[in-house]
A = this chain, B = another copy of it.
């Protein structure tokens, strides 16, 4: 099988020159996004800075929105890289959870400025950038796995019915934090960090209480609900993934 090369707008794989051009375009785009935000960055400007023609930018990126996917991929990798050592050094569940959440915000800080537009496009269920879309399933899986590691590598033992769903719940929790972060206008998004502080404690306590007999019926219903609905929101079409000529 071929090495996992980046895909072009037309669905072909790239090696050598093409890949370099593509990377250059993405680089300039993200640079400009940071400098002046998403809306004030023109495809023409991106092309110009990258030293290519306008049409050429569209050869590598199907649309302006698709440039955002480049950001996602990068941010995600960075997050994983930071979390690795963190999860090796810590066993306390709350600390692990807090660390992973903080890391996500830390690595995204530079892009907080255009996070709004980012989320805006991500919110559209038709968009391949939606966190629920089929196209972002691989990334979602990785993050869910990361959350699983957060729990499993900790000193808290989680029994089976919860254990299966918990990673998905924590993924959802992370999404909520990001949603808050996007709307956070406090200096250096300090409110988000405070929110992480408080909620991670709360969530940890909830997890530890999960086994309590009094909560049993509630926990059971909730888990049943999750299992049932988790995969119902599967993306509908994404029919334009490959464009047969």
Contacts and interface: CB of A to CB of B under 8 A. Distances in A.
- Copies of this chain, how many? 2
In the A-B complex, the 8 residue pairs with the smallest Cβ-Cβ separation, listed nearest first, are A123-B123, A120-B124, A185-B236, A125-B183, A116-B125, A183-B233, A116-B124, A120-B123
A191 B123 contact: no
Nearest to A198: B225
A218 B229 contact: no
B218 A209 contact: yes
Contact of A195 (B198, B209, B229, B236): B229
Interface string A188-200: 0001000100110
Main secondary structure of the interface of A (DSSP, over half): helix
Interface of A: 116-117, 119-127, 130, 132, 180, 182-186, 191, 195, 198-199, 201-202, 205-206, 209, 212, 214, 217-218, 221-222, 225, 228-229, 232-234, 236
A202 B184 contact: no
Nearest to A115: B125
A226 to B, nearest CB: 10
Contacts of A218: 202, 205-206, 209
B116 A184 contact: no
Given A199-B225, A209-B218, A124 B119 contact: yes
Contacts of A201: 221
A225 B212 contact: no
A125 B182 contact: yes
B182 A229 contact: no
B225 A202 contact: yes
A185 B239 CA distance: 14
A212 B215 CA distance: 11
